[in-house]
Structure formats: structure tokens, C-alpha cells
Amino acid sequence: MTLIGKSVPRLEDRELLTGTGRFAGDQNFEGQLHMRVVRASLAHGRILSVDTAAAAASPGVFAVWTGVDVADVSPINLRPGSALQDLEKCRQHILAQDIVRYVGEPVAVVFADDPYRAEDAAELIWADIEELPPVVGLMDMPGEFAPGVSTEPAVLVKGYGDVDAAFASAAHIVDCELSVGRHAGVPLETRGALAIWNDDENRLEFHAAAKIPHTNRIALAELLGLELDQLHLFEGHVGGGFGVRGEIYPDEVLVNLAALRFRRPVKWIEDRMEHLIAANHSREQTHRIRAAINADGLILAIDDEFWFNQGAYARTHGATVPVVSATMLPGPYKVPAYRATGRIRLTNVTPAGTYRGPGRYETTFVREQLMDTIAAELDLDPLAVRRTNLIAADEMPYERPFEIGGKPIIYDSGDYPESLARFLDHVDYDAVQAEMAERRASGEMAGAAIICFVELGGDGPFDDVRVEMDTDGRVEVITGVASVGQGVETVIAQICADTLGIDYAGITVTHGQTDRIARGQGARASRVTVMTGNATHKAASGVRGMLLEKAAELLQSPVETLEISDGVIGIVEGLGEGPSVTVAAAAAEILRGQNAPRIAVEESFENDRATYSFGAQLAVVVVDPLTAGVTVERFAVVYDIGRAVNPMLVEGQLVGGAVQGIGGALFEEFLYDETGQPLSVSFADYLMPTAAEVPDVECLVLEDSPSTTNPLTLKSGGDPGITGAGAAIAAAIGDAIGRPGAIKRLPVTPLRLRAILRGDADRKQEKNNAENGVST
């Protein structure tokens, strides 16, 4: 093996850098119609009438639909496996039927011959909507949200151990209330879809699909009433996914439905304003968490109750985010008894789904602020509290006795204390601490913190891969995954080339084309390298076996004496001299006389266990006490990935994730006013971090703890950059202002930080007054 572990350049880059990418907007079909969605401008209301006459008569308009035109289409289903039964009642119709429940909900659609004219016509549609009182409070007493649907449609309880007994015997009990703001993955490329009825093939084609084409194919075919072989999805380039892009929303269904009904291509490109109110939001949850602690800061039990804002409807992800939140909250710590009660709440805002690091970003913030609060209340060193509670190496594999998605949670491998120690060494934490102390002594509000987390990924249940080789030795790897820009083509080519003993650069990796392979799981849950990588290894091993067998015949030498290197099959080095044959010639020989242009081996890799890995992050910040502004001076991540197929790509994931995580920690938030009107509808008010706000992210990628769940011993690497970022920034700010645990809510805006600093100033004043005998 020579290629796995090398930071070889990305195969994807040539197209992207030379402007030959095929994003949704780049694709067009002759005679296409352009769709424009008319969206609700009220958070809650009854549709009295929708006047479409002027729009229908507007130049270039082909058709206008309102709710009645699509009343026969069932609401969008939750993905199998991700649903709680109770959420079925909260599914969304592709166009509002009678009631609108969030600003941005599709009410009507216009199809026109030109996107400008479509938008002109959409402006002429007048929806008469009677305003109803909106539900905006996440933690209000449950009430009715829709007929027969409670504002709290589901409550999930996850736990293990005797929580109440632990609290009864605890030396200390610490509690806090912590919230993460509503934000989401905001890809540079907004959503887009292009559908065309292909008469020759008797099938509907959905182009510019993303993320999970095979899964979406099944769901869409069902919604549209098509046989599975009457629908195919084709992935193009994707300008960012992050969990948000590539799900089935009303808009994508409408495009496909229209192409099917009109027998005419239909194109839709979401604009930025739509994206910020129509695509899945995420993250918003509030936790009331309590910990039972012994005198040394060891956690005996955690009891957490949290409120998760699902928005107005359940989306395809069902209960994924609250379930992951509930089960991953304990993270890298022992926590012998645990109970989480997750209250899924409906409110009149944009529905929520997953965003990179779902459930982990939020709960890592909650857990790590809890650790800081414990340290503050027991007057212990924050790092020492973490060390006391870390799962030890000899406890691996570590099983948490509850289940996620029907499977036990088993942390497969890791030496968490050792990884943390290596990180402290790497960032020279003692020196950092000394510098902070010195700066604070001279009046600066500078602070640093280290937080810990556990990442999960590499999720099954299966992945299929077919490796094909033609008579010239050219290889195509056909997969059921998708690319969200993470480097899947490079990584899969590396694994295939490594197995076959050929150059990776000549390998074609095909993904996201449902007509090329029957099944697929797409790019989600940080699973591609683990699952598709192992399937690739299996299939490529099959091809390798065929090649060696044929070469054994040709070279008159037993298979065991042969190896493949640089595309040539020959005698294993050290076993002496002998003839050799190229891979291409062996392939041609195999195919001679067969009626097939290619050798093909298809394999399935199945796995019902996820991989779990340790990570930690360091943030150094300085707070301007006068403006309540925060500057991030330093940010570092350690991550034990077990085995890195391409370390450069792992680092890329860590850096990109960290930047997004800093966004959620300091800048990004979907705010609403008390009537449910969104306040963050453009990039002027939804603030994404830029290069100027983020320092160079330092990465330490460890390969100390290979996974025990799969033959290649790989672990996931898509999310560790983001998972700890909210926690790290919050903890560093707490350190900077001299109040660990003070940050109760993300993002930490100047407005919120000012309130904390002011509170501190007022308290100080009160204390002084009290000491001086002044009454206030």
C-alpha cells in the first residue's frame, strides 16, 4: 500500500479551476421553462384566495399553479429511519393548502419562458391571507399548532443508569440554561433543479441533483407516482452542501412534477433571499442541563431537558437532529448515568433540518459550557475537570448503553487523554496560558480555552461500488455516493489505485448517477470515505484477483509470487527475475473472447456500526470591553482520524468546518421579530464569516486509533472542524472576561456580550457599594 496516506492533489480541481464545472445554473435544456415560487409573507394565516389572473396573462407565462393544482400530491415524506411516528402529522405540502405556516412557505408557482418574466409575473400574484396569531416562543406551554397537531408533536427520552440516585447522593449539583441560535449551512451555490421528460427512455430526469440522489429517487418516484425505472437523478457539480442542499423540498418536487405534466423541461434556481427563508434552518435549541458531581469534579450523572425548534413542518431529516443531540451530548466523558428529554417544538418559522455536525455542534457547546460552569463553581481548573471525566484508553471499546437508530453506541477506539496531551503539547498550552495571564494582568481581556468532543460518522448500512476496467487498463469506479466538494473522487481513486497498484490520476470516479448503479447512500453523515472507501477496496480487490489470476496463467508463475506495481504485474520483488505483463494487457486477455468491453466487479460493503473519534479545539480570543467585539486570534484543532487516506483533504475539512463553526459562534443567526417575520434575509443581515474574521486554523491530524469497524480501519472526517467551534469560542470568551461558563447563548454578538459585561460591571458596583455600606 503506497497511496493511502498521501496528500496527493485533488482530481476534481482541474474542472473547477478552469471554469468547466457544471453547476445547476450552467445546465440548460432546449425549450425549458423557468419556475418562480411565490412565498408566504405572513408567518401564519388562512389563505382566503389567490388571484393568479394577472400573472397568467403576463408575457411569457406558460402556467400558474396554486395549492389546488397539486392537492393530489401527498406531503413530503420523512426519510425512512429518521422519523418519529408523531412527526408524520407535521409533513409539508409542496404548495400550501389553506394555511400558511412560515414566511417563505410556497403558495403558488409561475412557469414562464424566461426567469425575469417569471419573476415579473410572480409579483402580480395576489394572495389574500387572513392573519392568524403566530407561535414564536420555543419554550411556551404546549398548545395547538395545527388542527390535531400539538406545538410539541414529539418528546424523546434517551438515557441509561440511575440518574435520580446519583443526584440524591451528589456532593454538588450544577445547572445551567444554554441556547444555540438558529443558523444553517449556507452554501455559495443556492439550490437549483432541472427536470426533463426523456421520451426515448420513457423516463423523467432530474439534473443538478445533489447529496443523496438514490435516496431522493425513491422518495420522488413515490411522490410523483412513477415506477422507479421511470425516474433518474443526475448529480452535477455542487457549490457546497453542508446537509442543507440536496434534500427534497417542495421546490424540487414542483420542478419535477411540472416537467412530468408539461412534458417540457423546467428549470429553477433559488435566489439568495429565498435560500435564507426556504432552505432548512438548523441548530436552534435550548437546554436546561443539570449535573451531579462528586467533590473532585467527577460527573456522576447528567439530566438534560432540551427544546428543539423544528419550525413549522417536519422535514426529510425527521428527528435526526434531536436524536443525535440527545445521544451525543455526553461526548468524550464517562457520565455513568444520563437522561435527556428532547422536546420537539413547532413554531411559525422556516422548518429545520440537519447542518454539518448536526446535534454535535449544539451539544458540544452545552456540555463544554457545563464543564466550565462546574470548574467555576467548584473552583477547579477547567482542563482538570475535563481530564477527570475523560473516558480512559483501557475502557475502549466504550459502550453507551442506549441506542441510536437501533444500534448501540460503541466508541470503537481511542486514547482520549493521550490525544489531549499531544494537543496541549502541540499548541504549547502552558505558554498560551502564561501569555493570557500576562495580558489580563495588563488589563487586556484576552483568553484561551480547550474543549473536547467526540465525532461520529462512517454510517452504514451499506454502500455499493462497481470497479470496471477496459482493455486499455482504464478504470472507472461507479459509486452511489455524491460529491459535496469534499474530495470524494480523489479519495476513492486513491483507495482503488492503492488496491490495484496503478496510478490514481487516470481513474474516473462516477457518483450521483442513478442510471449507473442501482443503490446508493449519497454523501451524508460523514460516511463516504469509510463506507464507499471500503466498498471500493472490496471491488478493486476482486479486479485485482482476476488480473493476478490471468497474469499467473500468462507468466506461468503462481499468483502468490506476483504483485502489481505502477500498472505492471510481475514477480514480487526479492523473489527473483521474471517476465511481466501490464495491467492493460492482462485485462485485454481476460476480455478476449468475452462479449464485454470491460471487466466489472461489483461489491457491497455493509456495516451497522458508526465510527467514533476524539477531537479537541483551542481558541484564543480577545474581547474589546468598550465595544463588546470579539477577535479570534488563534484557532487549533486536533483530531484522531485513525487513518487518513489523504491528510491534506482531512485538514481541508477541519479548516472549512472551523470557519463555519466560528460563523455560528459569533455571526450567523436567523432572527425573527415577534410576528414571525424573518430579519435575516440577505447577506447584509445574515453575517457569514470572511477570511478577515478567522485566523489560520492550525490542524493536528492524529492517526493513533484506527477504527475497528471496517477493514481499512478508517474513521469519519467531515465534521470535526465545526463540532467544537461554538464551544471553543464561548469558553475562550468566558476565560477572557474572567467568567468561565458565562456565555449562555450562541452566537456571541456584541449586543449579548455587552449585556454580560454590563451585568458584571453592575455586580461589581453593587459589591463595592455593599462593602462601602452604600445602599442602592
Cis amide leading into 142 (omega within 30)? no
Nearest 5°: the CA angle 209, 460, 10 is: 55
Grid cell in block for residue 68: 389546488
- CB closer to other proteins, 270 vs 719: 270
Grid cell in block for residue 126: 395576489
Q: How many CA atoms lie within 13 A of 603 on its CB side?
A: 20
- CB closer to other proteins, 535 vs 733: 733
Residue with cell 485485462: 587
- CB closer to other proteins, 529 vs 749: 749
- CB closer to other proteins, 11 vs 136: 136
**Residue 114 C-beta: closest distance to other proteins, Å:** 10
Grid cell in block for residue 668: 450567523
**Residue 770 C-beta: closest distance to other proteins, Å:** 25
**Residue 264 C-beta: closest distance to other proteins, Å:** 21
By CB atoms closer than 10 A (0-12, 13-18, 19+), residue 442 is exposed
**Residue 271 C-beta: closest distance to other proteins, Å:** 4
**Residue 523 C-beta: closest distance to other proteins, Å:** 28
Where does 138-268 have alpha helices with state H?
Answer: 163-169, 213-224, 250-262
Grid cell in block for residue 92: 409539508
**Residue 174 C-beta: closest distance to other proteins, Å:** 31
**Residue 671 C-beta: closest distance to other proteins, Å:** 5
Q: In whole angstroms, give the CA distance from residue 93 to residue 71.
A: 8
Say how far residue 382 (Cα) sits from the centre of its chain: 29
**Residue 499 C-beta: closest distance to other proteins, Å:** 46
Grid cell in block for residue 58: 403576463
Cis amide leading into 397 (omega within 30)? yes
Grid cell in block for residue 158: 434517551
- CB closer to other proteins, 423 vs 667: 667
Distances (CA, A) of 530 to 52, 207, 299, 463: 51, 27, 33, 10
**Residue 669 C-beta: closest distance to other proteins, Å:** 8
Grid cell in block for residue 608: 451497522
Grid cell in block for residue 396: 475502549
3-state secondary structure of 364: helix
- CB closer to other proteins, 4 vs 122: 122
- CB closer to other proteins, 270 vs 640: 270
Q: In whole angstroms, give the CA distance from residue 682 to residue 388.
A: 45
Residues near other proteins (CB under 8 A): 115-116, 119-120, 123, 271-273, 626-629, 666-667, 671, 679-680, 682, 684-685, 687, 689-690, 692-693, 749-751, 754
- Check: CB of residue 450 under 8 Å from CB of residue 617: yes
**Residue 750 C-beta: closest distance to other proteins, Å:** 6
- CB closer to other proteins, 387 vs 752: 752
Q: In whole angstroms, give the CA distance from residue 319 to residue 322.
A: 6
- CB closer to other proteins, 270 vs 377: 270
Where does 79-212 have alpha helices with state H?
Answer: 115-123, 163-169
- Check: CB of residue 362 under 8 Å from CB of residue 370: no
Q: In whole angstroms, give the CA distance from residue 613 to residue 572.
A: 37
**Residue 274 C-beta: closest distance to other proteins, Å:** 8
- CB closer to other proteins, 271 vs 444: 271
- CB closer to other proteins, 98 vs 114: 114
Q: In whole angstroms, give the CA distance from residue 715 to residue 707.
A: 6
Q: How many CA atoms lie within 13 A of 539 on its CB side?
A: 30
3-state secondary structure of 7: coil
- CB closer to other proteins, 113 vs 418: 113
- CB closer to other proteins, 448 vs 628: 628
From the list 140, 182, 179, 127, the residue with the least C-alpha distance to 679 is: 182
Q: In whole angstroms, give the CA distance from residue 535 to residue 549.
A: 21
CB atoms within 10 A of CB 140: 13
**Residue 309 C-beta: closest distance to other proteins, Å:** 18
**Residue 628 C-beta: closest distance to other proteins, Å:** 7
